[in-house]
Chain A
């Protein structure tokens, strides 16, 4: 098992955190994992990505050329990464703000209204957790429970009051993707 995942979107959408959350869950399941952020001058509003490799064998290169999974949280990300995804790969599209359609026919594409589902979960800002849940409904990279259980360790205790709605958002995304 080896998945190479790129999360991409605007700075501020929680792109780094998505990668960190799934990487942390994978580590707790005993898997090998690497996480690389875009650490350039991209600030809120700019394009940001994080690259996560999860494998049951030691990981050679942590740099991803052709991802097996891409989560596109905005239109520029979809344009940038759609062509690079491996055949039969998974593309998760944030339908709430992406108005262009993916062109590839050889991918599994999941369109998901992350903002609407996040609002239903209790906070429109946690679309990243909805998208993660959706991803896990299509690819069993980690057990969703590992993801949920890990959040308390990587979220500052200042925000622990928000853990229940994060869990709700992950489950909503998972349910939507499982339909």
Chain B
């Protein structure tokens, strides 16, 4: 397929449709509006595709819930304040073991904040913004090509593990255009033997999250935890740059990782011993890659567009065996290469 020039938001929408997503509901908010705009045009063109501009974020996530339990691949998208509104629905999706893809193109917070790019919803995304002992898989692309590839993967993962998957991007990734190639999906969709599609001739199925008996609810939670453990074992993804011969490792995802890559390239040219770990899954966090690093790595510098959230998972991943420093900008500001280099020199 030919390369096209597309912004990240549009690439998410197109990739979703190619992956077989046939239901989208969302409520507008900058900087992710290109997703519903694109969906409103393309979804009706796809066989059986439904686009709904819902009356609210709450309605959108619950429409996704309803669509998912019929076996349809379903997606919603929003930006930070709107994602907060969806948390109840995400907890219910997790409780009902329903696959869904939720896109958060983060903007500056807290509150209404601003429309600048941000990564300050990391905690909410990976620690579970809704209530209960649940997880969602969190995917963090860093280029428009990766956005396309990982959006398709997100639908596969959601179906495979029957749980919500969040694509966590920021305003820059959503707005930035890069060449992208949509590679045809070859994986067949998994047959879903749990959906509500009319029970004529068979026993009715029940999908609900209310489990009043304590022992039964504990048993259900342990079943979920077993699945989460399997995901932690099988689905960690990351990119490691110069892991074998660096003293300092930067740790960054999304747009921050693009800036850090420039820093690594430029400092390497000057003979500095520096590399980077770029998590692609934020949950499960790529702990194994950190554990595999050799003694050559003396310290870490975590770079985020927040006041320091992923840094906690880095410390956990290495059991605090080495110093972990932080550099970040927040409120819609973006870390500069100079700022990162200064941070490296000062530690």
Contact = CB atoms under 8 A, between A and B. Distances in A.
A129 to B, nearest CB: 18
Contacts of A20: 5, 177
Contacts of B171: 39
Contact of A61 (B31, B175, B178, B261): B261
A2 to B, nearest CB: 11
A85 B309 CA distance: 35
A163 interface: no
A62 interface: yes
A39 B334 contact: no
A27 B4 CA distance: 8
Contacts of A35: 5, 176-178
B5 A39 contact: no
Interface-centre pick from A20, A27, A154 (highest chain B CB count, 10 A):
A27
A24 interface: yes
A108 B136 CA distance: 53
A36 B264 CA distance: 22
Contacts of B3: 27
B299 to A, nearest CB: 22
Contacts of A41: 115
Given A33-B179, A36-B175, A36-B176, A61 B258 contact: yes
Contacts of B338: 65
A62 B7 CA distance: 13
Contacts of A24: 5
Nearest to B178: A34
B149 to A, nearest CB: 15
Contacts of B334: 63
Interface string A37-52: 1011100000000000
Contacts of A61: 258-259, 261-262, 337
A62 B336 contact: no
A1 interface: no
Contacts of B262: 60-61
A23 interface: yes
B258 A39 contact: no
A143 B262 CA distance: 27
A32 B31 CA distance: 24
A32 B258 CA distance: 14
B172 interface: yes
Interface-centre pick from B5, B115, B259, B337 (highest chain A CB count, 10 A):
B5
Contacts of B264: 60
A36 B172 contact: yes
Interface of A: 20, 23-24, 27, 32-37, 39-41, 60-63, 65, 154
19 contacts: A24-B5, A27-B179, A33-B178, A33-B179, A34-B177, A35-B176, A35-B178, A36-B175, A39-B175, A60-B262, A60-B265, A62-B172, A62-B178, A62-B258, A63-B172, A63-B259, A63-B334, A65-B336, A65-B338
Interface of B: 3, 5, 30-31, 115-116, 171-172, 175-179, 255, 258-259, 261-262, 264-265, 334, 336-338
